Amino acid sequence: MHPINAAFAACSVSHNHSHSVKYMEGIDAWFDEVFKRREKEADVDYWKRARNGVKAKLIESFRNGKRQAQGLPTQ
């Protein structure tokens, strides 16, 4: 591999790894917030909120995937 291509590939891998780490940190923060039990929250309310939070994230991910497949920026 040409040295310039090797340098570009290394930079790209580093950028992708950095982006992946930041993405997973964001997912961790979102998860912690969604599944943190609120003070005096009834079981039924907790699980409804948790389910709605997960569903919202799945819909967001689905829509971003569709946008990316169309060559549009994700939100």
pLDDT of residue 15: 61
* Residues 27, 20: Cα–Cα separation, whole Å: 10
Q: In the predicted model, is pLDDT for residue 14 greater than 70?
A: no
pTM (predicted TM-score) = 0.68
Residues 6+ apart with CB under 8 A from 60: 75
Q: In the predicted model, is pLDDT for residue 2 greater than 80?
A: no
* Residues 11, 6: Cα–Cα separation, whole Å: 9
32 plus 45 within the same structural domain: no
Residues 6+ apart with CB under 8 A from 73: 67
pLDDT of residue 75: 78
Neighbours of 64 (CB within 10 A): 14
62 plus 74 within the same structural domain: yes
Which range of residues forms the domain containing residue 49?
A: 38-75
8 plus 31 within the same structural domain: yes
pLDDT of residue 6: 54
